Amino acid sequence: MAARVQLPKDIRRGQVISVQILVQHPMESGYRLDADNRKVPKNAIRSFTCRYNGEEIFRAEMSPGIAANPFLQFPTLARESGELEFSWVDDAGERGSHTAPIHVAA
Amino acid sequence: MERRRFLEAAGGALAASLAPRPLLAQAPPAFAQSADSQALVKRATRGKEARVGKVKLDLPLLADNGNSVPMKVAVESPMTAADHVKTIRLLSERNPEWEMAAFHLGPYSGRAEITSRVRLAGSQRVVALAEMSDGSYWMGTADVTVTLSACVDGTG
């Protein structure tokens, strides 16, 4: 499961920034039929977490009520440079993760 | 005065009859029931009172396609350690899963604002419910008319 993260270009310490992430996932509702008219089983990312240098800064519980290829934009306070770590798990138990470096100017 | 009141009442009734109705006839029985959004809020707060205000839920008035509807929710809060938004929940009257999403925030968020894209099974009222750090609940709603529902006809 691939993901793409977007952060603002110039980040200063103490600034509230928007973190944008797009995760590739069908978020199957369980009501869609495949080519052979069989129901595609429900499969959505249930839990999504973002950690900033190891500390949890955002968590989402989702359902098929979130559109396919879920897009999330959430705020966080820029403190220091380091790494944003995203991880998620879907109904099928499949886990995905992604990391993005964050550069904070003093 | 009497006449004015009558006209107001008549106008209101006319507007109500012209208001968009969900296309229930096309939906399979599983989707036919439309839970009252107030009941959903009560369920989510476990019986506690939720006041209207502080929460601004942005959804388009008219969504051509229920499969992907842009959504933005913002809550007024200083987001300090003493006073912040803990959780924002999205509740749906007509989706198969009434609790669409829950977003957990904290003082490290700096601001209480989430943007995403949601799926809507038909025209409905969507509720954004915010739980504050002091245990109080605040809510905002948005009414959306969906011309093509997500996941009801099996074709897409």
Q: Are B116 and B100 in contact (CB under 8 A)?
A: no
Contact B151 A32 (CB under 8 A): yes
Contact B117 A66 (CB under 8 A): yes
Map out the domains of chain B with their CATH numbers.
Answer: 35-148 (2.60.40.2470)
**Residue A104 resides in a domain:** yes
Does the interface predicted TM-score (ipTM) exceed 0.90? yes
**Residue A39 resides in a domain:** no
CA distances for A86 relative to A19, A46, A51, A58, B33, angstroms: 11, 14, 6, 9, 37
- Rounded CA-CA distance A63/A44 in Å is 6
Q: What is the pLDDT of residue B124?
A: 93
**Residue A102 resides in a domain:** yes
User: Is residue B148 scored above 90 in pLDDT?
Assistant: no
- Rounded CA-CA distance A12/A81 in Å is 10
* Domain region containing A70: 9-20+44-106
| Domains contained in chain A, number | 1
- Rounded CA-CA distance A11/A50 in Å is 18
Total residues belonging to chain A? 106
Contact A65 B92 (CB under 8 A): yes
Count the alpha carbons within 13 Å of A45 in the hemisphere toward its beta carbon: 27
Q: Output B85 or B26, whichever has higher pLDDT.
A: B85
Total residues belonging to chain B? 156
Residue pLDDT, tens place only, B105-142: 999 999 999 999 999 999 999 999 999 999 999 999 99
User: Is residue B152 scored above 90 in pLDDT?
Assistant: no
Decide: residue B24, CB within 10 A, 0-12 exposed, 13-18 middle, 19+ buried.
middle
Contact A61 B101 (CB under 8 A): yes
Cα nearest neighbour of B111 on chain A:
A75
Please, which residues have CB within 8 angstroms of residue B81's CB and are 6 or more apart in sequence? B107
Contact B108 A16 (CB under 8 A): no
Here the tokens at position B52 are: 């209207």
**Residue A3 resides in a domain:** no
Q: Are B66 and B121 in contact (CB under 8 A)?
A: yes
- CA distance, residue A28 to nearest chain B CA (Å): 9
Shortest CB distance from A60 goes to which of B102, B112, B152? Answer: B102
Q: What is the CATH number of the domain that holds A82?
A: 2.60.40.10
Interface of B with A in 42-81 (CB under 8 A): 67-69
**Residue A83 resides in a domain:** yes
**Residue A73 resides in a domain:** yes
CA distances for B85 relative to A26, A33, A67, A72, B114, angstroms: 30, 39, 24, 18, 12
A27 touches chain B (CB under 8 A): yes
**φ and ψ at residue B89, rounded to 5 degrees:** -110, 145
User: Is residue B92 scored above 90 in pLDDT?
Assistant: yes
Full pLDDT tens readout for chain A, 106 residues = 699 999 999 999 999 999 999 999 999 999 888 899 999 999 999 999 999 999 999 999 999 999 999 999 999 999 999 999 999 999 999 999 999 999 999 7
Here the tokens at position A84 are: 């944003």
